[in-house]
Amino acid sequence: MLNLIIRNTPKHILAASVALLMTSSAAFAVDLSTLEVITPTLLAPPMVMEHNQAAKGDAKLVKFEMVIEEKLIEIDEDGTKVWAMTYEGTVPGPMMVVHVGDYVELRLINPESNSLEHNIDFHAATGALGGGGLTHVSPGEEVTLRFKADKAGVFVYHCAPGGTMIPWHVVSGMNGAIMVLPREGLTDKAGAALTYDKAYYIGEQDFYIPKDEEGEYKEFESPSEGYEEMIEVMNTLTPTHEVFNGAVGALTGDNAMTAKVGESVLFIHSQANRDTRPHLIGGHGEYVWERGSFDDDPATNQETWLIAGGSAGAAFYTFKQPGVYAYVNHNLIEAVLKGATGHVVVDGDWNNDLMEQVSAPAEIKK
Ligand SMILES: [Cu+2]
């Protein structure tokens, strides 16, 4: 029913009615003047902003700023390009990190140089379509939204301007994630602390790039010029590209993630539109919050886990062997033919107890 309303209601009326709902009935002023204010610096994925794992002190007012940027980006080594719609210029947008009970305040800026209206729907937030109903900004406008982070977990945020604009903006890269940590940090099911040495954010993205008569991927002058043909490809439900962090190879080679033997790494993985199934080749998901909620006990020692389209999940692993690990979407067609592969390069000493090549490949003995 709600979907029907959203689809059939002009977006400005929808935004106005949500705003009206917010102010018409028993709205009360919130006094946050006693809260400590912090203004973290967001980082381009796969890096995650500096943060405390266990919260220090009381709840805070955490102020972020994101600039929306429509930009032509290359998504494959063959030069295939797409007009990406981005938060802060990256696909996915940056990972925000706060703690349960904190207030998230986002100043969202849509510069005059853009061509489209955008907004933001936080799956971590409560009310007004995740804030989507209160954040429509046309080029040349800005808006500020505040919500209380009252659910612990990792959650997607994405653009949702209305109707067909919603999937089009999301598959043009306009999505990211927020991590709302428990105030005590992550724990196993017995309550023991799970402290990570580093966190990486992998945002998986399905792209739907139209082809010309010769079968070559088409490039357009503006996002809108490619809209109709992209919708046709989207209607096949078959992505032409399925990539990590905006491009084939964005997390391999020189761009690989790194770790050391003995280090624990938290891999946060989001897919705003389509189901996926992360697998760390040569390692395991020792603790996995598959559905994203940190209020649930993590599953342990998973080989492959599922990230449902429209969600984020987190996996914690302590590396035990050096070498190159492939972090993949284990639909291997999507990993190898469509692009959803990353690498983790791990330094350290080899452990023969865990694995040894007892004899090297040689001719079969007669
Ligand atoms: Cu948008």
Catalytic residue selected from 77, 197, 303, 347: 303
Catalytic residue selected from 118, 136, 241, 269: 118
Whether 355 is catalytic: no
- 66 CA distance to ligand 1 middle (Å): 13
Catalytic residue selected from 66, 96, 117, 158: 158
∠ CA 113-231-3, rounded to 5°? 90
- 68 CA distance to ligand 1 middle (Å): 8
Rounded to 10 degrees, the C-alpha dihedral 342/334/122/317 comes to -40
Whether 159 is catalytic: yes
Judge whether 62 and 101 are in contact, CB under 8 Å.
no
Mean pLDDT by 10 residues, the chain (366 residues): 45 51 69 96 98 98 98 97 98 98 98 98 97 98 98 98 98 98 98 98 98 97 97 98 98 98 98 98 98 97 98 98 98 98 98 97 95
- 84 CA distance to ligand 1 middle (Å): 10
For CA atoms 65, 293, 305, 309, give the dihedral sign.
Answer: negative
- 29 CA distance to ligand 1 middle (Å): 30
- 174 CA distance to ligand 1 middle (Å): 6
Side chain identity at residue 344, one-letter code = V
Task: Supply the CATH classification number for the domain 199-347.
Answer: 2.60.40.420
∠ CA 278-267-311, rounded to 5°? 65
Rounded CA-CA distance 52/55 in Å is 6
What token pair was written down for 287?
Answer: 């603790």
- 85 CA distance to ligand 1 middle (Å): 6
Catalytic residue selected from 47, 69, 263, 304: 304
- 206 CA distance to ligand 1 middle (Å): 16
Name the helix (H) or strand (E) containing 7.
helix 2-8
Judge whether 87 and 171 are in contact, CB under 8 Å.
no
Whether 51 is catalytic: no
- 281 CA distance to ligand 1 middle (Å): 35
Report pLDDT for 340.
98
Judge whether 63 and 104 are in contact, CB under 8 Å.
no
Rounded CA-CA distance 60/148 in Å is 10
Rounded CA-CA distance 127/52 in Å is 28
- 118 CA distance to ligand 1 middle (Å): 4
Report pLDDT for 21.
54
Catalytic residue selected from 95, 165, 174, 179: 174
- 93 CA distance to ligand 1 middle (Å): 12
Whether 284 is catalytic: no
Report pLDDT for 74.
98
Q: Nearest Cα to 299, choosing from 309, 311, 284? A: 284
- 228 CA distance to ligand 1 middle (Å): 16
Whether 169 is catalytic: yes
Whether 213 is catalytic: no
Catalytic residue selected from 99, 123, 136, 343: 123
Catalytic residue selected from 279, 290, 341, 343: 279
Residue range(s) of every CATH 2.60.40.420 domain in the chain: 2-183, 199-347
- 119 CA distance to ligand 1 middle (Å): 6
Side chain identity at residue 61, one-letter code = L
Whether 343 is catalytic: no
CATH architecture under which domain 2-183 falls: Sandwich (2.60)
Catalytic residue selected from 70, 121, 242, 334: 121
